Amino acid sequence: MSSKALAEFIGTFILVFFGVGSAVLMGAEIGFHGIAMAFGLSIVAAAYGLGAISGAQLNPAVSLGFLASGRMGAGDFVTYCIAQILGAVAAAAVVYLIASGKADYSIAQNGLGQNGWGEGYNGGYTLMSALLFEFVATFLFVTVILGATQTDAPAGFAGLAIGLTLAGIHLVGIDVTGVSVNPARSIGPAIFAGGQALSQLWLFILAPLAGGALAGALHGAGITRSPHVKPRG
């Protein structure tokens, strides 16, 4: 495994371990606000700790945005996505093992921080609400990432800006879908939770990828890119 792939694996592990772990192990104590902060802080930690190696994308939708904008090659895109998914699955497995050490924990009853929608899931929002939220939120998230990491953005602040954006997105949407904006983050818990989490997984793959691709295309076209930054390629 290359250093970039390993950094993406570890970074995505941090994201899922902090975020999903806070929901599963401490959700009742810290509530939605605490979970949102945990997801945001995970991005800050990974960005400053690993960003110099791989860029700390940690998310196939983000990587697709970089690909669509011309700031990433196809080979790195595939490598990053594989590493991100493996990191998310590994982190979900660790959270599941820790949670299983509590006598009254049941994945069927308590879940594993999986994403979802509809009756019985958080606010009971519809498929259309879930689809719209995930598409729009991912588009905004990737737009911020591409802007904060372009060459003439203020130096040293990208990790903070991206982490705060993810926290804000969670404050808006945890009750809607649990917030994915990241196919890897959704795949990891769904593999272990099974059932509805797996049957609804398609939305948390397609909607974030579509949002990320649109953000990347607009950035690559110069619409959301600084006029002082020359296009790649």
Q: Domain residues for 125?
A: 3-103+113-220
Question: Mean pLDDT for the chain?
Answer: 96
pLDDT in tens, 153-204: 888 899 999 999 999 999 999 999 999 999 999 999 999 999 999 999 999 9
Is residue 42 included in any domain, yes or no? yes
Is residue 201 included in any domain, yes or no? yes
**Is the Cβ–Cβ distance between 40 and 163 less than 8 Å?**
yes
pLDDT in tens, 181-191: 999 999 999 99
Give the three-state DSSP class for 102: coil
Is residue 207 included in any domain, yes or no? yes
* Structure confidence at residue 152 as a pLDDT band (50, 70, 90): confident
pLDDT in tens, 108-129: 999 999 999 999 999 999 999 9
* Structure confidence at residue 220 as a pLDDT band (50, 70, 90): very high
With tokens 């939605």, the residue in question is 32
With a pLDDT cut of 70, the percent of the chain lying above it is 98
Is residue 163 included in any domain, yes or no? yes
CATH of the domain at 40: 1.20.1080.10
| Residue 126: DSSP 8-state | -
* Structure confidence at residue 231 as a pLDDT band (50, 70, 90): low
In sequence order, which residues have a C-beta less than 8 Å from that of residue 37 and are 6 or more positions away?
A: 30, 167
Is residue 53 included in any domain, yes or no? yes
d(CA 176, CA 124): 7
Is residue 229 included in any domain, yes or no? no
Q: What is the mean pLDDT of residues 101-106?
A: 95
Distance, CA of 167 to chain centre: 11
Q: What pLDDT does 174 receive?
A: 98
Is residue 233's pLDDT more than 70? no
Give me 37's structure tokens: 């902060």
Is residue 205 included in any domain, yes or no? yes
**Is the Cβ–Cβ distance between 111 and 20 less than 8 Å?**
no
Is residue 226 included in any domain, yes or no? no
Number of structural domains found in the chain: 1
Q: What is the mean pLDDT of residues 71-99?
A: 98
